[in-house]
Amino acid sequence: MIKRLPLHTKILIGMALGLGFGMLCIQFPAMSGFTIDYIKPIGTIFIRGLKMIAVPLVLASLIIGVANIGDISKLTRMGGKTLLIFIVTTIISITIGLSIVAIVKPGHKLPEATRTNLMELYNSNAAGKIDFAEQVKSRGPLQPLVDMVPDNIFMATTNNGAMLQVVFFAIIIGIAMLRVPKEKSTPVIAFFDGLNDVIIKVVEFIMLIAPYGVFGLIASLMIEIAGDDPTKAWELLYALLWYSLTVIGGMLIMMVVIYPLLLRSFTKINVLDFFKGMRPAMLLGFSTSSSTATLPVTMERVEKHLGVSEEVSSFVLPLGATINMNGTSLYQGVSAVFIAQALGLDLSLSSQLMIVLTATLAAVGTAGVPGAGLVMLVIVLEAVGIPAAGIALIMAPERILDMVRTMINISGDAAVSVVVASTENAIDEEVLKEHVND
């Protein structure tokens, strides 16, 4: 019977059991060691498996994605459309974040004592992130562009954080394949096409352990958040509840207003069907906090359950997982203002516009890995003149917000792929009708 449960139900069960088990471990600390030693590794293996396949998947699917588009003019059209929607949705998400943080004013709800307490507690931890961001910032204005071009593609493929370089390389190779004579490109395309299918099969294998992996991840996460003082986690989370609720509220608006509007305006897909089809990928984004790790499943769901053609999905999704992060940009906007509020700083309109601009760029530069959004937030803060040490304030709920924002990042990518596919007449209605609930 269990075998026949849909994947998202199995993942949900895994999460719920993991949560319960994690709580149990916090109550009975003797179990914690066992959990970390013997249960956490299942989660780690699962995530490693997904990460293992991420670079080959992006490489093969984007090369095929570009090559399959067939001609440069179509590529320009689809690429233009995709980038335009990415930018518009990113700006909308930041604006929503800035609006609700201005209304809720979570920063003003933090008592003075808690604030100093938190700053002290996390200061050393924050320092590492700031150092890194400092290095990023001290380079020239065109550095992000320079960073996109790998100086050695094999090195780039050994670092999941350098996905933008892999994306760049794959697109160039794809375009070059459109420019060489057909008899030369055909075998190369066939090779990558086959490789792509093999990779997807590997993803299916990895997904077999998804529910157990998720169980291990959530259970060990609970133990790690609690540390040696179980009440600590909850106290800190409570102190930052308002801030977290603001971030989550903004993301909810994206989910229940903006994406449905986008889908309604440009596609015929039923909004509920969209979310039903995407459930497993969203849950996985939540459990892994990594859009890159979730990418294989996002692609599978969009193609095999929402009916988006491979041509569109293999172009839009790897690109989206790397540069389109609506959840992250919203989070960065809210967090910047929250920190400013908490430190008693007033933000002018021009500072707010600066946040929109820098958060858009920061989200593009954020790698689809856990915690990357927090590092890039430092750049936003510095650009507006908010003390970067303020990230110490928001470190406590970071992990949970990372989980939620990753889920939004993934939904955003999927929504854009459905929109692009609809405008290109590339949705298979039969697949959608028959497999959306699987």
Closer Cβ to ligand ASP, 189 or 356, answer by number? 356
For residue 103 the two structure tokens come to: 């209304």
Judged by CB under 6 A, the number of residues near ligand ASP is 16
Note whether 373 binds ligand ASP by CB under 6 A.
yes
Is 396 strand, coil or helix? Answer: coil
- List the Cα angle 38/5/41 in 5-degree steps: 15
Closer Cβ to ligand ASP, 57 or 177, answer by number? 57
Place of tokens 């760029």: 361
Choices 5-13, 150-158, 164-172, 370-378 (CB under 6 A): range interacting with ligand ASP? 370-378
Closer Cβ to ligand ASP, 380 or 427, answer by number? 380
CB of 349 to ligand ASP, least distance (A): 26
CB of 321 to ligand ASP, least distance (A): 7
Residue spans of alpha helices (H) in 305-384: 310-323, 326-342, 349-365, 372-384
Residues forming a β-bridge with 427: 308
Closer Cβ to ligand ASP, 70 or 161, answer by number? 161
User: Distance from CA of residue 257 to its chain's centroid?
Assistant: 19
Site residues for ligand ASP, window 316-345 (CB under 6 A)?
325, 328
Give the span between the Cα atoms of 367 and 387, in whole angstroms.
23
CB of 327 to ligand ASP, least distance (A): 7
Place of tokens 């700031």: 130
Note whether 129 binds ligand ASP by CB under 6 A.
no
Note whether 358 binds ligand ASP by CB under 6 A.
no
Q: Residues 288-317: x/- map of binding to ligand ASP (CB under 6 A)? A: -xxx--------------------------
Site residues for ligand ASP, window 11-50 (CB under 6 A)?
none
Asked if 40 contacts 216 with a C-beta cutoff of 8 angstroms, the reply is: yes
CB of 363 to ligand ASP, least distance (A): 8
Sequence-ordered list of residues with C-beta below 8 angstroms from that of 259, at least 6 positions apart, any chain: 271, 274, 411, 412, 415
Choices 56-64, 100-108, 256-264, 362-370 (CB under 6 A): range interacting with ligand ASP? 362-370
Site residues for ligand ASP, window 395-414 (CB under 6 A)?
402, 405-406, 409
Burial class (CB in 10 A: 0-12, 13-18, 19+), 106: buried
Q: What is the residue type of 404?
A: V
Residues forming a β-bridge with 308: 427
Residues that bind ligand ASP (CB under 6 A): 289-291, 325, 328, 366, 368-373, 402, 405-406, 409
